Amino acid sequence: MNDTFLFADESEPTEVVNHGHWKVLIVDDEPEVHTVTKLALSDFSFNNKSLEFISAYSGAQARELIAANPDTAIILLDVVMETDDAGLLVARHVREELKNDHVRIILRTGQPGQAPERQVIVNYDINDYKSKTELTAQKLFTVIMSSLRSYRDILSLEQSRKGLEKIINASIDLFSSHSMEQFIDGVLQQLTSILGSHENALLASSSMVAGNVRSDADPHDLVVFAGQGQFAKKEGKPVQEVLNTDLLAAFECALDSRSIVYRDNYLVAYCCSKFTHGSLLYISGLPGQISDNQKKLIELFAQNVQIAYENVQLQHEIEDTQREIVYRLSEAVEHRSVETGNHVRRVAFICYDLAKAYGLSEEEAERLMYASPLHDVGKVGIPDGILNKPAKLNGGEWEVMKTHAQIGYDILKDSKRVIIQAGAIIAQDHHEKWDGTGYPAGKKGEEIHIFGRIAALADVYDALRHRRCYKQAWSLEEVVANIVAESGRQFEPKLVELFQQRVERLEAILQKYPDDQD
């Protein structure tokens, strides 16, 4: 073995703050090679991370260890071990079987003729080829340093790719209920990638939904909105519960100065906003001193990120405004009668509960919930004398009353908005009956849209449980008995079964939103 490798001069030790380890897998059947390699690299540090050595003494053991440690940065791989090509088979296994393209493979051989360099480089995906006799301590230092730089850059690119993928996916489905969370998670990955940081990150905000910030709200009452690393499961918690004293002080400084605060190995960036009192981005594990160019990039990034937030917030504001208008118009229709103030709200939540139990998707259940308040919008076309008559309607009056289903459909049918379209369906179908005896079209069974079938049961249940101008409120026992008796006639049997199973949950909705007169 080359003496210069074993006894090369060592540099003066320097005190380094350690922020983790780079894993190095040594694969060689000679124990002394492991000992000498560890000795030569004992004080090695890159990006404030030392080396963590893992030893394998055969190709078979190497395959097990690399599978168990997929975050290995470098493999120092001997060629000839239990077989003449054991090392080459390990390299092929890592790339082709484990699909690990990140780890840097450095082939070390004491018998270069056994595995010619040109043939190995062409046929195997390795990153360097060295003869053991030429690997002095200095050359080993050099090859490890260059390999770690490559590995670091590969991780950074992969982190950036994942972040971009999340942002692109969020852009495709911006209106989904989780799009904002997915978008911000991608933003955090992008920023940590830009800075070469792969540790902890979080975004804290006073509010992430436009229109919800009170003028008297304290801008220092921040909650965690998204997180990585140690903050990955802290969403929704106040920052006072998840941050230590020093971090809280840095957050306060960034919020008060409306700027970016840099500390030894982390930063806190203030993001201004039209809709909130401001958001804060926290990134830790910074790789050394941040350059002026990086600081400019961070500042620009923080500004652009906030613009992206505000675009999503605006979309939420538009959707919330549409839903509120639906509720208020529906309640205005209800107030034409001497009935309820919360009927439409209760029906909405009852519909959502039954829809989820029925097996509808979250998107469908929410659409039904937001559209169901429009079920009786057609009553705007019914004269007050009929609508508020305290006695039973005569035949002619009943025929007029039944027209409200078609009137409601005609009012809503031409809208291009999905909630209004769903409202048109519900207005038309919520008085159809499972046995075909309903109105306005006499639809039967599954000819009736599922939204109409669910809204029908929710509407009847709520109406029977509350006082009306023509009747007193029924007891729960009376209502359940009536709905069960109508199974297969007025209502779909499956829905009646679900109603019976969930009646306690539905009663809780009635308790939460009572009528003023109750």
- Are 108 and 76 in contact by the 8 Å Cβ rule? The answer is yes
Mean pLDDT, residues 166-181: 50
The count of C-alpha atoms lying within 13 angstroms of the C-alpha of 457, restricted to the half-sphere facing its C-beta, is 38
Give buried/exposed letters for 347-384 (b at 16+ CB in 10 A, else e): bbbbbbbbbbbbebeeebbbbbbbbbbbbbbbbeebee
How many domains does the structure of the chain reveal? 3
In a domain, 325, yes or no: no
Is there a single domain that holds both residue 303 and residue 394?
no
- Are 337 and 463 in contact by the 8 Å Cβ rule? The answer is no
In a domain, 484, yes or no: yes
Question: What's the pTM?
Answer: 0.49
Please identify, among 101, 125, 153, the residue that sits at the C-terminal boundary of a domain. 153
CA-based max dimension of the chain:
112
In a domain, 271, yes or no: yes
Is there a single domain that holds both residue 20 and residue 97?
yes
Active centre residues (catalytic): 379
- The tens digit of pLDDT for each residue in 202-232 reads 777 765 433 344 444 455 678 887 777 888 8
Radius of gyration over every alpha carbon of the chain, rounded to an integer in angstroms: 34
Q: How far is residue 391's CA from residue 172's CA, in Å, rounded to a whole number?
A: 55
Nearest to 167 by CA among 311, 314, 318: 311
Distances (CA, A) of 446 to 124, 439, 443, 454: 62, 15, 8, 12
In a domain, 431, yes or no: yes
Q: How far is residue 84's CA from residue 86's CA, in Å, rounded to a whole number?
A: 6
Angle between helices 450-464 and 343-358 (to 10 degrees): 130
Is there a single domain that holds both residue 370 and residue 277?
no
Is there a single domain that holds both residue 302 and residue 348?
no
Task: State residue 386's pLDDT score.
Answer: 86
Domain encompassing residue 485: 336-512
What's 484's domain CATH number? 1.10.3210.10
**Averaged pLDDT score across all residues of the chain:** 81
Q: How far is residue 174's CA from residue 119's CA, in Å, rounded to a whole number?
A: 51
Let me know if 216 is exposed, middle or buried by CB neighbors in 10 A (0-12, 13-18, 19+). exposed
Is there a single domain that holds both residue 19 and residue 121?
yes
**Residue 199: band (very low, low, confident or very high) from pLDDT cuts 50, 70, 90:** low
In a domain, 162, yes or no: no
State the DSSP string of 477-511.
HHHHHHHHHTBTTTB-HHHHHHHHHHHHHHHHHHH
Q: How far is residue 98's CA from residue 14's CA, in Å, rounded to a whole number?
A: 38
Task: State residue 200's pLDDT score.
Answer: 75
- The tens digit of pLDDT for each residue in 399-442 reads 999 999 999 899 889 888 888 899 999 999 999 999 999 999 99
Ramachandran sector of residue 258 (left: φ over 0; alpha: ψ -120 to 50; beta: rest): left
Is there a single domain that holds both residue 307 and residue 356?
no
What's 251's domain CATH number? 3.30.450.40
Is there a single domain that holds both residue 108 and residue 32?
yes
Q: How far is residue 429's CA from residue 78's CA, in Å, rounded to a whole number?
A: 75
In a domain, 320, yes or no: no
**Residue 278: band (very low, low, confident or very high) from pLDDT cuts 50, 70, 90:** low
In a domain, 418, yes or no: yes
Task: State residue 5's pLDDT score.
Answer: 39
Is there a single domain that holds both residue 402 and residue 489?
yes
- The tens digit of pLDDT for each residue in 84-108 reads 889 999 999 999 999 999 999 998 8
